[in-house]
Structure 1
Amino acid sequence: MDDKEAARAAVREFLTTRRARVTPSDAGLPSQGPRRRVKGLRREEVALLAGVSPEYYVRLERGQATGPSARVVDAVADVLRLDEDERAHLDRLLAALTPAARRRNRGAAKNLVTPGIRVLLDSMDHLPAMVFNGRFDILAVNTLGYALLAPMYDLPGPPNSARFLFLEEPRARDLFPEWDRMAADVVAMLRIEAGRHPDDPDLIELIGQLATRSIQFRTRWATNDVRAQRAGAKTFRHPLIGEVTLPYETLRIDAAAGQVLTVYTPRPGSPEADAIRLLASWNADNQRHDHWTAGASGRDPDA
């Protein structure tokens, strides 16, 4: 499959899955009884509600429409009840149909963490912090971040959150009690990354590996759900500090496209902050100095 065919397939799969989840009653159309065979809306119903011809909507869903106007895309997005993340994802998929956009999208997430970001990580000695790229490779951590994610670092090779979640599922479920929610979020964020960088060979390899080896990943990938990375809270069942729910913030790194700094931010004086202090105390007595503590020590993990 060449680049253009892949871009068309991405549009088709996304719009088809979004159309399937909107029922006629959701859209204010009369139900046609139990004999209705189509799950969700038919293409002609989407066209009717969006104010375009059925022929045009078919071409749009197949990725064959040339330069659809913002008005048309907005109307289709409204009919399909796309949220903000899904609407932005659709824009990226449609833009990727043009050769110029496909060339622009070849730049993939980079692995090089700048010295300034490493200094910033090390300065946060009381908060767990780490740098991810869009493929969920962990590029750098401070000492507390390393201690918090220690089970990931017990495995061979560069740590990757998605691989850990799906290919080391029993361990991942031990570390993350809310595994199902976290797995859905990671797949939805990988979908966005695939829309941004459909030609990234490392991303293609990762998705292929996960799809081949994990039915949990395949099932979630087929839904075509998308979700942008935002602040939130994550629950850990840590072997040293027990079960704790930590709020976190995500900050995009302008100097390196695709990199995100994640910092866990328990409120001072809270039980969660006490748990992190306990982790810091343990870590001070048991620091490990091997290749993948590079993010904390300032060395380049790709060196």
Structure 2
Amino acid sequence: MKRLPPLPALHTFLITAQCCNFTRAAQQLHLTQGAVSRQIAGLEAHLGYALFVRQARGLSLTREGQDWLPRVQQVFGLIEEGVQQVGAQRTTLQLKAPTCVMRWLLPRLMEWQALHPEVPVELTTTVQHGVDFRREAFDAAVVYGAEPDPALQVLKLFDEQLTPVCAPQLPLRTLDDLQQHMLLHPARDEKDWATWLGAAGVQLPRQGRRQHFETLDMAMSMASQGTGVAIGDWTLIGDDLASGRLVMPFDLRVKTGKGYYLMRPAQVAAPGLMALLEWLGGQAGAPR
């Protein structure tokens, strides 16, 4: 079996065939013209036939050279493709988010994964509302609270806007009607309802019926079944409102001064991260 020609000589042939000029090929290969000429001569000697016709104004391919060129192009194309695909690491983006934002975030992450399966995302949920990138190995995080330090890498998603919601069939037309229904609290501190009622100028009896839940999901699930009136962020429950599972009995939406933000460490972002963050930012600003 005849020994294969050396790969450097084939690469020199490829560049020279594209230039049809030893001088220009030498410039691209960062070799001397003499070195290029010697490599081509050595390749021709190895193959046993000429690849170029030397002319006064340059070079032209022989019939054998013309046959060789597409094959050599294919070989180097496969090598380049292999370097890109085999050498590429399939990096999973590590994202952290509080449980309260899951109703909004999770469907959109699933949509992102369907659009970009080459950029997998691993989501860690937590009851914490912040992140410390010095101690936590996340590529990005959704945080809830007051506006973070503007010196950090922060993208604002949306402001928190509280509003009551209930099942469509629940008889609720005026603020006074709230006294006839159970108030569903997404947290035990009852701050959300207190904030909204204060802005609405409503004072309900302290002994009124109420039910506390550990998560927003649980409160909204009970509200959709007609159990009572829940309160939550207008954006987080937007999909429920759009589907008709829940309705807003009142137009008042109260900003709390807090919001939801995307944060990432200051160092270089992982591949695909910026595209994901920009896409989520666009989803936050998209009308329902």
TM range (shorter): under 0.3
TM-score, normalised with respect to structure 2: 0.21
Which of the pair is proportionally richer in helix?
1
* Structure ID, larger Rg: 2
Which of the pair is proportionally richer in strand?
2
